[in-house]
C-alpha cells in the first residue's frame, strides 16, 4: 500500500531549492577568483596576517596564523595551511608570492617533495603585500561580517596593481572552471599604464605573453596569443629548459612547464628507455637540491642532442599545454574576459578604491579644519577662555559656557577644553593657524580630484610606475618563436620506407610497403569496386584527399596504418570522419608541395591552384573551401610538372570544346572559381569534362579553337552517340 505521507515534488523545484544554493556558494565563495586576483580563502588568510602585524614584524609560527585565520575561515586547519603553502616564496607556485617563509614548504614542481607541518615552519608577509592592502583602513573597500558576526573582513583587497594577472589561479566550480595564467609584473604595469592613456592600445606590444613561476620556454604564436587576449580562452604550449654538459656527457633539465612535475617527466623518460624509444639515454636522475630543480640525463657519446630533446618534447610532459580560461567574478557574476576587459574592470575597481580613499581623507580633513576654526575663534581672546573655564563651578558646564561665549559648537568646544596649558603659547598658536591654511589647500585639491577622473587615473599611473620600479623582475619564461621550432614528428622517430597507395572508386585506401608487394602482388578489392589511382611514395609524405563537397582532408602518411594486399584497406569516410554523403574524388601524395591542382566546373570555368596553397604550418586535418564551392566540380587533377595536356568539355546541349591546361591561368586563392574557358549559352551546363584521350571523340579537330575562351561546337553525329565517362575515368 502506498505511503501517502511521501510528498511529491518536481525535480526542477528540488534542484532550485537544494542544488542551486550549493552551486552558487561554490562559484561565488570558493572556486572563482575576484578582481583582486584572490579567492575568499586566500583573502581571509592574508587579511588575518595583516591584522596580526606580520607585514612589518618578524615571522611567527605557521600554526599561529592558521589558528587565527579560523576566525574568518571555518574550514579545517589543514585546508588553511595548504592555502598558505601555495602562497609562500618557498613553494614557488606564484610568480609574485605573498608570504615570506622559513622552513620546508615543498615545491610546486614536485609531487613528492611534501611540506613540513605548520608547527615547524614560520611565515610573515612579503613587502609587496603593502600594495595589496594599500589604504585598506580608509574605506577603500567594503567590509562584511565573518561567519559568526564577531569581526569584520574585507570583501576585496584594494590591490594597487593588477594581481589578477600576476599570479596564476586555478579553480573548479559547479558547471564552470577558471584557469588564469600569470603575467610579468613589470609588463602588466606598463600595459595597464598604456591602456589608461589609450584604450585602443595594442596590449601585445607591452604584455608579451604569460610568464610562469617555474620558467621554461613558451612556444610563441602571435595569432594564438592575440586570440587568448581577445577571448580569454586558448592554449599555450610551454617546454622545459636544458643545458648540456659535454665533458660529462649528460643533459641537465633545469626548468619545466608549470603544469607538470619533475616526477611525471622522469617517469615518462624511464618508460621510453624501457620500451626502446630513447636508446640514447643510459640513466636518468632527480638531482634537485637547495639550488633548485635539476633532472640529469646521462647520454651515449654519439647522441644527437637536438634530435633527442625534440623527441622528449614530443613524447613526455617536458612540453606541456596550459589551457587558459580567464573566468573571474565581477560583482559576484562569473565572466570570461579577455585581457583588455580584465584590465578595464581592474581600472574601474581602482578608480572606486581611490575615490573612496579621497572621500575618507576629505572627511577627515574637514573634521580637523572644523576643530581648528573653533580654536581660531578662541585664540583671539584666549584670556577670556581661560577665565571662563576657571570661573565655571561644575565641569559639566565648561563646554556649554565656551559654546555660548565664542559661538562655537560642541565638538569645537571639546577640542579647546582638552588643550593642555603648556600648548597655550605663541608658537603653538601660529602652527595651528598655518596648519589650517594647509588643510584648506588639501580640501580644495581633493575636491578638484574627485571632480576630475583624469586626475584619479594619474594617481593610478604613478602608483603603477612605483610598483613596477620597486618590485618588477625580468621574465622567467623565455619566449620562443613557434615558427622557428622544428616539429619533432616531421624529422625524427618516424620509420621511413617506400610504399604504394591504392585508391578505389568506393573510397577505400590501401597503403602497402613495397617489400610486402614483392611477396604478395595481387590486390584484393570488393567485386563491385575498381581501382582509380595508385601512387608510389614514402612513409613521410603527406596525403591530401579532395572530396565532392569542396573539402580537403590532410594526413601524414605515417598516421595511416599499413595493410596487406589481401585487405580491403581503410574506408575513407570513417578514417577522415567525413560528412554524410561526402565522397573522395581525388588523392594527392606529396612531400614538397610542388605542382598545381586543376579544377574545372559545370559553368565552363577552370582554376589552376598551386599545391603550396594546401600546405599549413599547423597539423590541420580539414581544409574547408579547398576549391570553389559555387559550382559543380566536373574535373580534378594534379600536375606535378610543366607538361601540359588537352582536355575536352562536353555540354548538355551536345556541344564540345577542346582546350589545353596551359590555357588555365594560375590563381593563388584555393576557393577561386578560376577563368572562363568555355562560353556557355543560357541554361547550358558542362556535362562531361575529361582527358581528350579518354573522351573517345572521332572528329577532334572540329572542337579545337585557337582563341580561348570560346563557344563550344556542336557534336557530329558520330560523336553524339559516344558513351559518357564519369569523373573517376580520368
pLDDT bracket for residue 354 (50, 70, 90): very high
The mean per-residue pLDDT over the stretch 353-382 comes to 89
The mean per-residue pLDDT over the stretch 9-15 comes to 77
Q: Are residues 582 and 685 both part of a single domain?
A: yes
Q: Is the pLDDT of residue 699 over 90?
A: no
Weakest mean pLDDT among 378-392, 434-448, 685-699: 378-392
Rounded to an integer, what distance in angstroms lies between the CA atom of residue 639 and that of residue 626?
16
The mean per-residue pLDDT over the stretch 40-51 comes to 95
pLDDT bracket for residue 632 (50, 70, 90): very high
Q: Are residues 353 and 466 both part of a single domain?
A: yes
Q: Is the pLDDT of residue 493 over 70?
A: no
pLDDT of residue 3: 57
Q: Are residues 690 and 608 both part of a single domain?
A: yes
Q: Is residue 635 part of a domain?
A: yes
Q: Is the pLDDT of residue 5 over 70?
A: no
Weakest mean pLDDT among 2-16, 522-536, 601-615, 680-694: 2-16
Query: How many residues are present in the chain?
Result: 730
Q: Is the pLDDT of residue 582 over 50?
A: yes
CA distances from 724 to 649, 654, 689, 694, 727 (A): 12, 11, 10, 10, 10
pLDDT of residue 486: 59
The radius of gyration of the chain from alpha carbons, rounded to an integer in Å, stands at 39
Selection from 445, 522, 489, 712 nearest residue 603 by Cα: 712
pLDDT digits (tens, 9 = 90+) for 171-230: 887 778 899 999 999 999 999 999 999 999 999 999 999 999 999 999 999 999 999 999
Selection from 545, 699, 562, 525 nearest residue 626 by Cα: 545
> pLDDT over 90 for what percent of the chain?
60
Q: Are residues 303 and 350 both part of a single domain?
A: no
pLDDT of residue 6: 66
Q: Is the pLDDT of residue 487 over 70?
A: no
User: 623-637 as b/e, with b when 16 or more CB fall inside 10 Å?
Assistant: beebbbeebebbbbb
Q: Are residues 500 and 466 both part of a single domain?
A: no
Rounded to an integer, what distance in angstroms lies between the CA atom of residue 594 and that of residue 94?
49
The mean per-residue pLDDT over the stretch 312-340 comes to 93
Partners of 217 in beta bridges: 239, 478
pLDDT digits (tens, 9 = 90+) for 636-652: 999 887 778 899 999 99
The mean per-residue pLDDT over the stretch 262-282 comes to 92
Q: Is the pLDDT of residue 128 over 60?
A: yes
Q: Is residue 631 part of a domain?
A: yes
pLDDT of residue 638: 93
CATH of the domain at 64: 3.90.199.10
Cα dihedral 289/294/300/305 (nearest 10)? -160
If phi over 0 gives left and psi between -120 and 50 gives alpha, with beta otherwise, what is residue 332?
left
Q: Which residue has the cell 614530443?
A: 314
The mean per-residue pLDDT over the stretch 453-482 comes to 94
Q: Is the pLDDT of residue 465 over 90?
A: yes
pLDDT of residue 695: 84
pLDDT of residue 490: 47
Q: Are residues 511 and 642 both part of a single domain?
A: yes
CATH of the domain at 255: 3.30.1360.40
Q: Are residues 588 and 685 both part of a single domain?
A: yes
* String of DSSP letters for 208-255: -S---TT--EEEE-HHHHHHHHHHSEEEEEEE-EEEEETTTTEEEEEE
pLDDT of residue 491: 47
Last residue of a domain, one of 110, 133, 155: 155
- To the nearest whole number, what is the mean pLDDT of the chain? 89
Which residues span the domain enclosing 109? 39-155
Question: Which residues have a Cβ under 8 Å from the Cβ of 314 and sit 6 or more positions away?
Answer: 488, 489, 492, 493
Q: Is the pLDDT of residue 729 over 80?
A: no
Q: What is the 3-state secondary structure (H, E, C) of 374-391?
A: HHHHHHCCHHHHHHHHHH
Q: Are residues 419 and 566 both part of a single domain?
A: no
pLDDT of residue 484: 64
pLDDT of residue 542: 92
Most confident range (mean pLDDT) of 181-190, 591-600, 616-625 is 181-190
283 sits in which H/E element: strand 281-286
With contact defined as beta carbons under 8 Å apart, do 556 and 699 qualify? no
CATH of the domain at 674: 2.120.10.90
CATH of the domain at 409: 1.10.268.10
Beta pairing, strands 327-330 & 633-639: unpaired
* String of DSSP letters for 43-62: HHHHHHHHHTTTTTS--EEH
Rounded to an integer, what distance in angstroms lies between the CA atom of residue 215 and that of residue 108?
12
Contacts 24+ apart (CB under 8 A), 284-292: 286/262, 287/252, 288/107, 288/110, 288/113, 288/262, 292/254
Rounded to an integer, what distance in angstroms lies between the CA atom of residue 114 and that of residue 104?
8
Q: Is residue 227 part of a domain?
A: no
Q: Are residues 141 and 43 both part of a single domain?
A: yes
* String of DSSP letters for 412-424: HHHHHHT--GGG-
With contact defined as beta carbons under 8 Å apart, do 356 and 140 qualify? yes
Global model pTM greater than 0.85: no
With contact defined as beta carbons under 8 Å apart, do 603 and 687 qualify? no
With contact defined as beta carbons under 8 Å apart, do 629 and 550 qualify? yes
Number of domains in the chain: 4
Q: Are residues 542 and 673 both part of a single domain?
A: yes
Q: Any idea which residues carry the catalytic annotation?
A: 120
Q: Is residue 1 part of a domain?
A: no
Q: Is residue 284 part of a domain?
A: yes
Instruction: Retrieve residue 549's grid coordinates.
Output: 563537397
Amino acid at each position: 500500500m502506498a505511503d501517502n505521507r511521501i510528498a511529491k515534488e518536481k525535480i526542477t523545484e528540488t534542484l532550485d531549492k537544494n542544488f542551486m544554493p550549493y552551486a552558487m556558494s561554490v562559484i561565488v565563495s570558493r572556486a572563482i577568483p575576484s578582481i583582486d586576483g584572490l579567492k575568499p580563502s586566500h583573502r581571509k588568510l592574508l587579511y588575518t596576517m595583516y591584522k596580526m602585524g606580520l607585514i612589518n614584524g618578524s615571522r611567527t609560527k605557521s600554526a599561529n596564523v592558521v589558528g587565527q585565520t579560523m576566525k574568518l575561515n571555518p574550514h579545517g586547519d589543514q585546508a588553511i595551511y595548504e592555502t598558505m603553502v601555495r602562497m609562500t616564496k618557498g613553494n614557488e607556485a606564484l610568480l609574485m608570492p605573498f608570504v615570506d617563509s622559513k622552513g620546508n614548504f615543498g615545491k610546486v614542481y614536485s609531487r613528492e617533495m611534501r611540506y613540513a607541518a605548520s608547527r615547524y615552519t614560520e611565515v610573515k608577509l612579503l613587502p609587496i603585500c603593502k600594495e595589496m592592502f594599500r589604504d585598506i583602513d580608509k574605506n577603500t573597500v567594503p567590509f562584511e561580517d565573518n561567519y559568526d558576526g564577531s569581526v569584520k573582513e574585507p570583501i576585496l583587497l584594494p590591490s594597487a596593481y593588477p594581481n589578477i594577472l600576476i599570479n596564476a589561479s586555478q579553480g573548479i566550480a559547479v558547471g564552470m572552471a577558471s584557469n588564469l595564467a600569470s603575467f610579468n609584473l613589470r609588463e602588466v604595469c606598463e600595459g595597464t599604464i598604456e591602456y589608461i592613456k589609450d584604450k585602443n592600445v595594442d596590449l601585445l606590444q607591452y604584455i608579451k605573453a604569460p610568464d610562469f613561476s617555474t620558467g621554461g620556454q613558451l612556444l610563441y604564436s602571435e595569432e594564438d596569443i592575440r586570440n587568448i587576449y581577445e577571448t580569454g580562452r586558448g592554449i599555450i604550449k610551454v617546454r622545459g629548459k636544458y643545458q648540456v654538459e659535454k665533458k660529462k656527457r649528460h643533459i641537465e633539465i633545469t626548468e619545466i612547464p608549470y603544469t607538470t612535475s619533475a616526477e611525471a617527466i622522469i617517469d615518462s623518460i624511464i618508460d621510453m628507455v624501457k620500451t626502446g624509444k630513447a636508446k640514447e639515454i643510459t640513466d636518468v636522475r632527480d638531482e634537485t637540491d637547495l639550488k633548485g630543480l635539476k633532472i640529469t640525463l646521462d647520454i651515449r657519446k654519439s647522441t644527437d642532442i637536438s634530435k633527442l630533446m625534440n623527441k622528449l618534447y614530443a613524447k613526455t610532459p617536458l612540453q606541456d599545454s596550459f589551457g587558459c580560461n580567464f573566468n573571474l567574478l565581477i560583482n559576484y557574476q562569473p565572466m570570461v574576459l579577455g585581457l583588455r576587459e580584465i584590465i578595464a574592470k581592474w581600472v574601474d575597481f581602482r578608480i572606486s578604491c581611490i575615490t573612496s580613499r579621497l572621500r575618507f581623507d576629505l572627511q577627515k580633513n574637514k573634521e580637523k579644519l572644523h576643530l581648528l576654526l573653533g580654536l581660531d575663534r578662541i585664540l583671539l581672546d584666549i584670556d577670556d577662555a581661560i577665565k571662563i573655564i576657571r570661573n565655571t563651578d561644575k565641569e559639566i558646564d565648561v563646554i556649554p559656557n565656551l559654546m555660548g561665549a565664542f559661538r562655537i559648537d560642541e565638538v569645537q568646544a571639546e577640542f579647546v577644553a582638552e588643550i593642555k596649558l603648556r600648548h597655550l603659547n605663541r608658537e603653538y598658536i601660529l602652527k595651528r593657524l598655518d596648519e589650517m591654511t594647509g588643510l584648506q589647500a588639501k580640501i580644495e585639491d581633493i575636491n578638484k580630484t574627485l571632480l576630475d577622473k583624469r586626475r584619479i587615473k594619474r594617481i593610478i599611473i604613478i602608483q603603477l610606475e612605483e610598483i613596477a620600479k620597486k618590485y618588477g623582475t625580468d621574465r622567467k619564461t623565455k619566449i620562443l618563436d613557434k615558427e622557428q621550432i622544428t616539429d619533432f614528428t616531421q624529422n625524427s622517430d618516424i620509420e621511413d620506407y617506400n610504399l604504394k597507395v591504392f585508391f578505389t572508386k568506393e573510397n577505400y585506401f590501401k597503403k602497402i610497403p613495397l617489400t610486402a608487394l614483392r611477396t604478395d602482388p595481387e590486390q584484393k578489392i570488393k567485386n563491385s569496386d575498381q581501382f582509380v589511382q595508385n601512387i608510389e611514395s614514402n612513409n613521410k609524405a603527406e596525403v591530401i584527399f579532395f572530396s565532392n563537397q569542396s573539402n580537403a582532408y590532410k594526413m601524414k602518411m605515417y598516421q595511416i596504418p599499413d595493410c596487406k594486399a589481401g585487405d580491403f584497406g581503410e574506408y575513407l569516410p570513417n578514417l577522415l570522419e567525413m560528412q554524410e554523403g561526402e565522397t573522395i574524388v581525388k588523392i594527392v601524395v606529396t612531400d614538397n608541395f610542388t605542382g598545381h591542382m586543376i579544377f574545372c566546373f559545370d559553368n565552363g570555368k577552370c582554376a589552376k591552384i598551386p599545391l603550396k596553397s594546401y600546405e599549413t604550418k599547423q597539423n590541420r586535418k580539414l581544409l574547408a573551401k579547398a576549391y570553389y564551392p559555387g559550382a559543380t566540380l566536373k574535373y580534378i587533377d594534379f600536375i606535378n610538372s610543366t607538361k601540359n595536356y588537352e582536355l575536352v568539355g562536353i555540354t548538355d546541349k551536345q556541344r564540345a570544346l577542346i582546350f589545353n591546361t596551359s590555357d588555365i591561368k594560375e590563381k593563388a586563392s584555393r576557393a577561386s572559381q578560376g577563368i572562363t574557358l568555355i562560353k556557355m549559352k543560357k541554361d547550358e551546363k558542362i556535362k562531361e569534362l575529361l582527358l581528350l584521350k579518354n573522351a573517345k571523340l572521332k572528329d577532334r579537330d572540329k572542337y579545337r579553337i585557337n582563341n580561348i575562351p570560346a563557344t563550344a561546337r556542336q557534336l557530329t553525329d558520330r560523336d553524339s552517340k559516344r558513351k559518357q565517362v564519369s569523373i573517376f575515368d580520368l
